[in-house]
Structure 1
Amino acid sequence: MVERTHLRVAAAVALLVCAGIVGAAYLSRPTSAVTDATGESARVAPANGTTVIATDSNTWLGRESDGPRANAELVAFGADGERQYYDDTHTRYWDVDPVEGTNATVEYLYADHLTPEECGGESACTRNGIERVNLTTGSVEGIYSRVTAGKHSTRWHDGDRLSDSTYVVADIAADRVFVVNTTTDIVEWSWDAQAAFDPATTGGPYPSDWTHLNDVEVLESGLIQVSLRNHDRVVYLDRETGLVENRTLGNGSHGVLYEQHNPDYIENPDGDDAVLVADSENNRLVEYRDTGGEWVRSWVWQDKRLQWARDADRLPNGHTLVTDSNGNRVFELDETGEVVWSVPVAFPYEAERLGTGDESAGGPPAHELGLRNRTAGGSTVGDGGPSQSSVLPGPVVNAVYYVLPRWMGVTELLVSCLGLAVGALWAIAELRWLPYRVSLTNPVSLRKRR
């Protein structure tokens, strides 16, 4: 009997400790991506210009929840660190681009999950669209939108403006890139990924999520750069001839790219253009240099916290603006690889520093800057975020983070599992210690143990 009492006390203490750790994490959660634990509006460190951040997040619940506070957030912090703009109208926010010729106007992609009634009886559908907002006045203008069936792999992540009335769109739902005239709603050109790739031998599951085409960028040359995430490739399209042969970055090998996001093309007037990529499942930033038609890796960076980066922009001063989705932060690296600015944000997707050009258009390539490589074994910034796991593969950890609430990290998850295991074992032990024996044979009986 004394032994049982000791076991009960030990189990109770273990459950209290587990509950305390998980409860403390929950109580210290921010109430949104851009407010602190008290609900006050966040203020961040001053930066060299306004920083606009789009999130793919619901702070309170899991990443894909449509429950309370299911919407994501679009926020801008001014150069002084004060919050300049905030909106949480849409279910998800994706790519953000400055509008040329303006100081405080941006365009962004959004996705709204619609009700079955709005979907014509279908269980799920999504309105994907492009909007423009003046960050100073808050005035929002709708540019273009369409409804796609389904939700998870049908949400457009990017669109790039060709002119005042034409946009190139990364159509993730149909595995294609198209150019649409937003005045006439006529699709003037399109490229289907099946024109160059075989669904039977490349990419993800077909047709549910074959390419996961998540980014387009119109280059000065007129070519269109396209990120085929589930092909682990960045390809280049000519609107006259289609896929540009022998130009593709990546070959399906995870050592080159692994389900990348938001590759940014860096035009170099001195020759040797480059592509800066958020190499997401490799949990790193990587840059490749074009050396006479061959892509050669010229820079790689990661720290122990970087977890599923989904955007990196090279700024004109040589710094790199990074969006660390599962690290719940947006930060800026200097030329030595040190973090010189950081803001905690729940599950950010993309960030843009206004006044520096579109994406990495205004920044120099790594090989000219002489940027230092860094791996996860180097120095880190320990400001409270999750760290990379040395036990589980990156894709497994990233998948777990994707479904967890923003406030729950690996530690809280493991502690929760431990608490459940202790509780289950305690319950089993108590059943075995009951003074009665239950028989489920026919007839069912309840007898006192001897």
Structure 2
Amino acid sequence: MTQEVTRRPLTKAAVIGTALEFYDHALFGLGAAIVFDKQFFPAGMPVAGALGAFAAFAVGFLARPIGGVVFAHFGDRVGRKPMLVMTLLLMGLSTVGIGLLPTYEQAGVAAPVLLTLLRLAQGFGAGAEYAGALVMVAESSDPRRRGLWASLPGAGVQLGILTATLVFTAVTALPSFETWGWRVPFLLSIVGVGVGLFLRFQVRESELFERERARGLSRFPALEVARRQPRILLIALAANAPFGAIAYLLNVFVLSYVTRTLGLPPAVGLSAKLLASAVAIAVTPLFGLLSDRVGRRPVFLGCALFLGAFAFPMFRMVDTGHPALVILAVTVGYGVCVSGMFAVLASLLTELFDTRYRYSGVAIAREWTAALTSGPAPLVATALVAGAGGASWPIALLLVVCAAATAVAALLAPETRRRDLTENVSEPRVRAGAAV
């Protein structure tokens, strides 16, 4: 009972904090897809403005591996809890700052420069937020239901995306949306910061981390994970890189594609995101629970293979321009397939790495690949569609390749469902209290 009572506030703090992170993150993606090209770049150059907005979006991912390594280093050295408080603050305050920025018309070239700087700060904080929440929940969960519990921060991700999309959709209806209305969702982030901080100050440090502290912590956890579990780290990187591209192609680029290329109202793409996120909130814990029953690899592989088979039919549905088919295609592709893979990656990643450097291992696997594939994906897709004269087949083909690549990586990974997190796969030879 004590463990259950302790787990609940910890999980709530992790889910709310992660929801805030992805509220901030999704807002920037929505802004980049719909309004940033007009606000922060020269008027009369729509393609250049779209590329500039997506470039600013991608820049944030360049800061994520640096922030991930820095915060995860101290998360493995000082504790999980302090880093989660710091990342929450950095993410939230950066988002509020974006809502206060001057436009290109008001400040000229300073406007996109300031936007990019705040996006870098946002990315630096995001680099270890989800990884830290994931590690805290997984280390405190019932081993028999770790897939379920570890998937809940993933549901928080979808909750943040859903909330951001709802708020952004609401303000697009304002007559003043393109003057000041778009700023409102960014400024509202301050409320989430307050709630998140209150919850995170209530939780206790991970018991597994405290046990590891007594045995002796790693001095350089990022280096140690690369030295002691190089094959596992490479597999985690190989699984995350194509998955990240898939997620941002369906979560960010498709919104721009249906609005700019197909000429549909923004409400169609936003409605698709809303329904996809709502479905993802519901099915993410179910996929986590299923992975507790049948294993991590079968569930992940099933979702990846289905997405690969669905890629071309999905874009055929989108290209009809029929709102119902667009919404259905995005809901199945993102709300079911992507959320299923995301749910399983939560427990898989935390079970692959030892406690001594788990935070660092998860952060490296997620954030280094985010910089390489997730952030640039919408930018690359925009260029591919432009080069193909507006055709969607290059994007469908890209999805097939990414789905196949992440499936191969999953096949190479060990099945971790029964992993005991109290045991280290690569036991370091140190005395209790000593540091490596």
Which protein has the bigger helix share?
Answer: 2
TM over 0.5: no
Judging by fraction of residues, say which structure has more strand.
1
Q: Which entry has the higher C-alpha Rg, 1 or 2?
A: 1
- Give the TM interval when normalised to the shorter protein: under 0.3
